Amino acid sequence: MFENKERTSLEELGEFGLIKHLTDNFKLAHESSVKGIGDDAAVLDFKDKQALISTDLLLEGVHFDLSYVPLIHLGYKAVQVNLSDIYAMNGVATQITVSLGVSSKFPLEAVEEIYKGIELACNKFNIDLIGGDTSTSRQGLVISVTSIGYAAKEDITYRNGAQEGDLLCVSGDLGGAYVGLQILEREKQIFLENPQIQPDLEGKDYIIERQLKPEGRRDVVDLLAQLKIKPTAMIDVSDGLASEILHITNQSDKGCTIYEDKLPIDPVTYETARELGLDPTVCALNGGEDYELLFTIKQTDYEKLKNDVDISIIGHITDKNSGVKMISKSDVVHELKAQGWNAFKN
């Protein structure tokens, strides 16, 4: 990826030189950031709020493939997917730490690209970079992001608060990131077999972006606050809708019924899934990496949300014995499973 560009070796800079070089542009904006980079630990002060902390570990070859993920997107996505966990608690994200394991064969210019993505995400979502760790890696690139935020105790939304009769809502649309990934994988295979062929991504921008450039739904947290809706339970959609629904129902000790015809699926996702011989509903249920927010609200809050085009009401919470089900478009009842929901069974 960097063959034709300038290459500065990381060894030339040394660890401290590298950290300084990468983090020099980052300024602290939050009052809660008492001390950022430069001491043995950062110091934060959230006063009367509760602190929220979440970590993700991303490994090359397991969570990302550098043959089609540009490094700038990798940095951006690593931050976004992590902020998404703070938003899923109904919190405000304020700081991150970033830890890197990077091969000394990586040029500085490559690590700079990752940090450009991190910086973009920090600027866009008003996040302070307050620390991290840097090490050489012999086994591919490793990135770990920890995000930190806060919320008033009474605003924090757990997975276990869903009540019978609550409405199940999801933001945005589902399945796009997964179908986007299938397109990227397909083009990679074609490229490996014949490097002369240019990738054919025409008309697929939306789903490629869903895969490479997801956005944490801070706007949904803001919207709920504006509408004075406190969700009874909330989770972000990282592993797939079905799996996240099961987290909510298991932890809340409830059942749930959703309706296939209510699932929000973008037309590009739908058409592309069909082209690839995939069932769009299965992609929406099991695809994952959508980073939308899935939440339950009391029925009395329905009026406040019903006209919002970005929020879909896809079902409702039932008693535990009713199970976790989807009613298909042809009125067939399917049991939802975390993985391997089978469109052809039943």
Q: Is 7 annotated as a binding residue?
A: no
Question: Is 81 among the residues that bind ligand ADP (CB under 6 A)?
Answer: no
- Is the separation of the CB atoms in 237 and 294 below 8 Å? yes
* Shortest spacing between CB 19 and ligand ADP, in angstroms: 5
Question: Do the annotations mark residue 45 as ligand-binding?
Answer: no
- Evaluate whether 89 touches 27 at the Cβ level (below 8 Å): no
Which x/- pattern over 105-134 shows residues binding Mg ion (rule: CB under 5 A)? Answer: ----------------------------x-
Is residue 100 within the footprint of ligand ADP (CB under 6 A)? Answer: yes
Contact status, residue 238 vs residue 81, Cβ threshold 8 Å: yes
Q: Rounded CA gap, 214 and 27, in Å?
A: 24
Q: Between 99 and 328, whose beta carbon lies closer to Mg ion?
A: 99
Structure token pair of residue 51: 């602190």
Binding region for ligand ADP (CB under 6 A) out of 54-62, 132-140, 293-301, 309-317 = 132-140
Which listed option, Mg ion, ligand ADP, none, makes contact with residue 184 (CB within 5 to 8 Å by class)? none
Using CB atoms within 10 Å of the CB of residue 117, give its burial: 0 to 12 exposed, 13 to 18 middle, 19+ buried. Answer: buried
**Percent helix / strand / coil, the chain, rounded to 5:** 35, 25, 40
Cα 289 from Cα 175, distance rounded (Å): 8
DSSP string of 81-149, one letter each residue: HHHHHHHTTT-EEEEEEEEEEE-TTSBHHHHHHHHHHHHHHHHHHT-EEEEEEEEE-SSS-EEEEEEEE
Q: Which of 3, 6, 24, 40 binds ligand ADP (CB under 6 A)?
A: 40
131 interface partner picked from Mg ion, ligand ADP, none, CB below 5 to 8 A per type: ligand ADP
Closer CB to ligand ADP, 35 or 63, in the complex: 35
DSSP 8-state secondary structure symbol assigned to residue 165: T
Binding at 40: pick from Mg ion, ligand ADP, none (beta carbon under 5-8 Å per type): ligand ADP
- β-partners of residue 149 are 52, 93
- Residue 132 interacts with ligand ADP (CB under 6 A): yes or no: yes
The answer to the question of residue 148 lying near ligand ADP (CB under 6 A) is no
Binding site for ligand ADP (CB under 6 A): 19, 23, 37-40, 98, 100, 129, 131-134
Which residues are part of a known binding site for substrate?
A: 63, 289, 341
Binding site for Mg ion (CB under 5 A): 133
Which residues are part of a known binding site for ATP?
A: 115, 132-133, 159, 238
